[in-house]
A and B are shown apart, each in its own frame.
Chain A
Amino acid sequence: MEYIYHIAVLFCLYGILTISFNLLVGFTGMFALSHAALYAIGAYTTAILATDFGIPFPLDMIASVLVAAVISAVIALPALRVTGHYLVIVSLALQIIVLQVILNWKSLTRGSDGISGVPSYNAFGFAITSPDRFLIVALIALAACYWFTHRLVRSPFGRGLRAMRENESAAQAVGLNILYMKLSTFAISAALAAVAGSLFARYFRYVGVDSFTINETIYVLAMVILGGMGNLRGSLVGAAILVALPELLKFVPLPVDIADKIRLILYGLVLMLILLVRPQGLLPEPRGRKAMLVSVEDESGPSDAGKLLDGEGGRQGGVVLQGSNLRKQFSGVTAIKDFSIALKRGQITGLLGPNGAGKTTAFNLLTGFLKPTDGVITLNGRSIADRKPHELVSAGVARSFQDLRLFTNMTVIENVIVALPDQSGRRWPNLFLHPARIRAEERANAARAMEILRFVELENKAHETAADLSYAEEKLLVVARLLATGAEVLLFDEPMSGLDQTTLADIFPVLRRLAEHGKVVCIIEHNLDVIKELCDEVYFLDEGRTMAVGTPDALMNDPELAERYFK
């Protein structure tokens, strides 16, 4: 029976590791391969504190968690400037560095000898040395880690993570603080791995670098993939299978000298078979309605979304967002040479120009996605040149993208909810400090989102996955998501492209109503009919310069501009 308990303890340790790794790679989409290093930091911190300084539980575990979280956050700061393959490389470097430090800081870590004789847990004079006793501790730790992570991912913070995973720039454009979310996730994931590491040190009573190689990260990654990325229960299933499978294979009688090699091959074959049958993992990430955090009942509750649809008030026609003498240079190429613009309350302003004129770059400058090389940008008279995109959204400037960048695996209503402002649940400590407030906000936000969907006439599609919408509906959802930010200045990048006349007829009134509500609207558009129909004022850009400003009719009747546009 002790053997079964031992396997169960291993399952608990790997369960914690898999949950924490899934938080990082599954829910957040950050492919960092340094998990074993963070696991090692947790194990070594406990081993050193317990063995050399006699620090008892739970102080050793708390210290492990803090050390791993802080180291992870500090290292993550530069690492998070890169994504994709680069993050994999940077995290691999971290893995190597941590193990080299452990190997070479002999006075602290005993180098390659490792630390043996780590004291076992002792509760009221009752030594927890056997697997059956330790299993109780491990199960409590696993349950706590599962609860914590579940609370995290089933929250506004978790919704933000999923949005960020799907499209980072779109997440920024709806006001999510990407750096905060990445840093938090890195630190939390490391802290959870450190819990597993701390338990490892106390259970095995020996820590050595051999237990924390890159193979361990790959092993945990296999568990995450097998169980299902972005599914916590899947993580536990993946951990259970990959811990139990090699043990079960031990009972397959094979010739001694090749038995373990054949078992490894069998193990690999079983994994391949499972993933061939279930490529998304055994428990794939719930999508669409199944993944929704808000309840359908809450959507019909009272809503104050009306104020999100209204502008800040003030004089119609007053300048709200202004860019003066903007210039943007990329190495040797000057994309914007001299661009000035004034966006006014209650007006729809058009940005017109041939391909490559610099329209999208101008949008990027006005919304903080790019910093101007020269020039001044003000919002209501105050400079916003140094603000980050999510800060500008809070300040009242939001944008859409030419390629839509919807959160396609989320429902329509969640695409809107994620963009709603003033969500306490975006700060993860609030999830645990103010759970009642978060629940109340979520109920209110469900109702607000539904009202915004009614405004764009998408309420009947609220529970469909964004990926299942028609192109026209996607465009409307872009508008809804932008409205949800509550921003005063709304910049639409080609909102009408690819739409037929019937759909255009649906969207025109929506944009007009926004302007009537006192919003500042700016659109990039190629369709001259749209410009003529919608815009009060048009800026003509070419070669990175403002060539002309005027009414649509005035500009379209200018033969020089027409030549430039159709050249």
Chain B
Amino acid sequence: MRKFLTAAIAAAAIFMAGPATAQEPPKDPEVFRFGAILAMSGKGDWYGKVMSRAVLLAVDEINARGGVDGIPLEAVIEDHKSGVAKEGVSAMTRLINISGVQAVLTSFSPPTQAIAPIADQQGILVLNGGGTSMALLGLTDMMFHNRTLASDLAIAAAMRAEELGLGNMAQLAWKNDAGESMIAAADPFWEKAGKSIVATEYMEIGAANIDTQVAKIRVSNPDWVALWTFSPETGLALKKLREFGVKVPLIGVEYTGDVKELAGASAEGYEYATDFFAPSAENPWSEQFAKAYRERYGEEPEFYAANYYENVYVLAEAIRRARAEGGAYWNGRKLAEVIRKSPTFPSVYAKEMTYQDNNVALKQVGVFRIENGEPTFQKFIDLNR
């Protein structure tokens, strides 16, 4: 009887599911137009340059292969003037109402937070590859992140310091959401490990003089200095710490071309934990991306470039999956739904990545050490440890 009931329920389920399987043909647009709200001007325009380049490279690659199921992608780049919330909202409104986008790539926490209610209300898929604040989590189901949160990077850096047997920590942080979230994550981790925090100093984004902060760090006599800063301030911090005679290990969360240029020889021996992007034969796609980027722009791709390049491919894959289900699939809610339904996507970092329940992709965090001016991979950090 039980078997009969089970069979009956299964048959009913198949019957009920009938109309869905007899799907409507996909309603195709002429072009898949999406937006990218980036720091195209202002003090963080380096990020906008790198990210937009990667977006355009990915779009051109996909279109060169015939687009997504034969339909071309088109990116509309907008400017949030290096993190101004109001500019982000204006850009979002323009993208939705003039360009008619269903998906938006975004960066920086304040504009991303500000556009979240619009995305939620109007059903626009948001893919963040740059904003690292914890405050971005839970704002809307429409938002996905392929950037490891700053707080996780800080923990990875602290884990590295612990492995190296370092004791008293001094920390220098950006006075913004990212810096704050790294301190909020690193402090309890380090104290739980039974170690001390001997100095906590902040610096403004774009600061030109951090002598006071560095002097205070020096007199605190730390065993290592944590740099909870990003480009280009990390470069200034490295330079100043060494100039002030701080000889202990320096461990941070980023190293970019700008940091390298600013820090010069002071970066030698600096270690950092970051989203691991390094072209390798293990993942031919990563080599292919790095080569294409180098040929087109004459520079090595940063991991920020990798994130946004990857995000365009995530979008393309989501469109492909949604289209396969038929109907009016070119819709932000539908795209978000297919990502949630099947959250694993090919990744330019490793073979693949998976969005977790909090919509953040779990990626490898690698530790690098600067040797002769170049990052040298040391090891992966297991954040689940």
Contacts and interface: CB of A to CB of B under 8 A. Distances in A.
Interface of A: 1-3, 6-7, 10, 103, 106, 110-114, 116-117, 120, 129-131, 200, 204-208, 210-211, 247, 250, 256-257, 259-261, 263-264
A10 B83 CA distance: 18
B40 interface: yes
Contact of A247 (B77, B90, B133): B90
A210 B94 contact: no
B117 A205 contact: yes
16 contacts: A2-B93, A2-B97, A113-B109, A113-B113, A113-B135, A114-B135, A116-B117, A117-B117, A129-B117, A205-B114, A206-B114, A247-B90, A250-B94, A257-B40, A257-B49, A260-B81
Interface residues of B, number: 39
Give the 6 A-B CB pairs with smallest separation, nearest first: A113-B135, A3-B97, A260-B79, A260-B40, A260-B41, A206-B114
B117 A114 contact: no
Interface stretch (B16-24, B171-179, B243-251, B279-287): B171-179
A211 B134 contact: no
Given A131-B93, A206-B110, A256-B77, A111 B180 contact: yes
Contacts of B179: 112
B74 interface: no
Nearest to B134: A113
Contacts of B93: 2-3, 6, 131
Contacts of A131: 93
Interface in B23-70: 40-41, 45, 48-49, 52-53, 56
A223 B109 CA distance: 28
B113 A116 contact: yes
Given A116-B116, A260-B79, A204 B86 contact: yes
A6 B90 contact: yes
B139 interface: yes
B350 interface: no
Nearest to A13: B86
Majority SS of interface residues in chain A?
Answer: helix
Nearest to B82: A210
A274 B85 CA distance: 28
B96 interface: yes
Nearest to B98: A3
Contact of A256 (B56, B83, B116): B56
B6 interface: no
B161 interface: no
Contacts of B53: 257
A110 B139 CA distance: 15
A208 B136 CA distance: 13
B230 to A, nearest CB: 14
Contacts of B79: 259-260
Contacts of B186: none
Task: Report which residue of B96, B176, B181 has the largest number of chain A beta carbons within 10 angstroms of its beta carbon.
Answer: B176
Contacts of A208: 85, 110, 113-114, 177
A116 B131 CA distance: 15
B45 A261 contact: yes
A204 B41 CA distance: 22
Contacts of B98: 3
Given A210-B83, A210-B84, A256-B52, A114 B180 contact: no
A112 B177 contact: yes
Contacts of A256: 40, 52, 56, 77
A113 B180 contact: yes
Contacts of B77: 256, 259
Interface of B: 40-41, 45, 48-49, 52-53, 56, 77, 79, 81, 83-86, 89-90, 93-94, 96-98, 109-110, 113-114, 116-117, 121, 133-135, 139, 175-177, 179-181
A343 to B, nearest CB: 60
Given A208-B110, A211-B86, A264 B41 contact: yes
A116 B139 contact: yes
A112 B176 contact: yes
A203 to B, nearest CB: 8
A244 to B, nearest CB: 12
A422 to B, nearest CB: 47
B121 A129 contact: yes
A261 B40 CA distance: 7
Given A3-B93, A204-B86, A211-B84, A261 B41 contact: yes
Contacts of A261: 40-41, 45
Nearest to A203: B89
Nearest to A264: B41
A320 to B, nearest CB: 62
B229 to A, nearest CB: 13
Task: Report which residue of A110, A206, A247, A250 has the largest number of chain B beta carbons within 10 angstroms of its beta carbon.
Answer: A206
A4 to B, nearest CB: 8
Contacts of A114: 85, 110, 113, 135, 177
B90 A10 contact: yes
A259 B40 contact: yes
B85 A211 contact: yes
Task: Report which residue of A103, A113, A200, A207 has the largest number of chain B beta carbons within 10 angstroms of its beta carbon.
Answer: A113
A199 to B, nearest CB: 12
Task: Report which residue of A1, A129, A204, A207 has the largest number of chain B beta carbons within 10 angstroms of its beta carbon.
Answer: A204
Contact of B114 (A1, A10, A204, A260): A204
Given A6-B97, A204-B86, A210-B83, 10 more contacts: A1-B97, A2-B97, A110-B135, A114-B177, A116-B114, A116-B116, A204-B114, A208-B85, A208-B177, A247-B90
A247 B97 CA distance: 13
A309 to B, nearest CB: 58
Contacts of B139: 116-117
Contact of A206 (B117, B121, B133, B175): B117
Nearest to B41: A260
Contacts of B56: 256
A563 to B, nearest CB: 64
A336 B199 CA distance: 58
Contacts of B135: 110, 113-114, 116
A112 B121 contact: no
Contacts of A200: 86
A260 B39 CA distance: 9
Contacts of A264: 41
Task: Report which residue of A1, A131, A205, A261 has the largest number of chain B beta carbons within 10 angstroms of its beta carbon.
Answer: A205
